[in-house]
Amino acid sequence: MAKKKEVKEKKTGSKSAAAPVKKPRTSAKEKALKASASSQKKAARAAAEVTQNAQILSSELVFDGPLFRVFRDEVVEPAGVRVSRDIVRHNGSVVILAVDSSKSKHDPWIVMERQYRHAAGQYLWEVPAGKIDLGEEPLAAAQRELAEETGYRARKWKTLATYYASPGFVGEAMMLYLAEDLYAGDASPEEDEKIELRLIKLSEIVKLIGKGAIHDGKTMIAALLYASLHGRKSKK
């Protein structure tokens, strides 16, 4: 009987040795933490590259106007280049893409303005926009400009992008906002603003941009960016 028991124990031990060793599974939470850590490292490296500023050797104010100032800066840029730059300094602007999707979510109506622009020497179709007053929060500026120029107010606001229209010599950051769930009110434009308002379908604006009929950069950026994001959202 003792011999039989010994044989059984040996067989059992043989099976145990042949069993595959299971690796511990990585939980979804652990995977998310690893992905987050990787993203944070990438963002930190990108931020380190972006935040490399030029060394300003001298800065001379050459023009001081009510809307912007011009400085002549002598700088050593991050790449080591020493150069003189004339820079337009501005308090920043807001751009508002006001969307009315009450009649069609697939192809919503966009609030557009037509006004004369002396710098361009022509009338332009544009989305509402304006400058940020000193000490004013960008969102408050966007809400104020939309109401003043068009009379429209919005219950929903979202930041879409921040960009520089001409970073070669203009230090004006432009913040693009999406305004939704609109309701009408009274407009109160400034004395020098003679604005014609119109609601135009998003698809029509995209076609006009493609035909070269819209020449305003901020309107192109706002409409095409939203059309891209809106198209992706519709497919989900």
Positions marked active-site: 191
Q: Which two tokens stand for residue 135?
A: 């000490």
Neighbours of 151 (CB within 10 A): 16
Cβ atoms of residues 94 and 175 within 8 Å: yes
Residues near 85 by beta carbon (within 8 Å), at least 6 away in sequence: 72, 73, 75, 169
Cβ atoms of residues 59 and 71 within 8 Å: yes
Q: Which two tokens stand for residue 79?
A: 């790449």
For 231, which DSSP code? H
Rounded Cα distance between 80 and 198, Å, is 50
Q: Cα separations (Å) of 48 from 5, 42, 94, 119? A: 70, 10, 27, 37
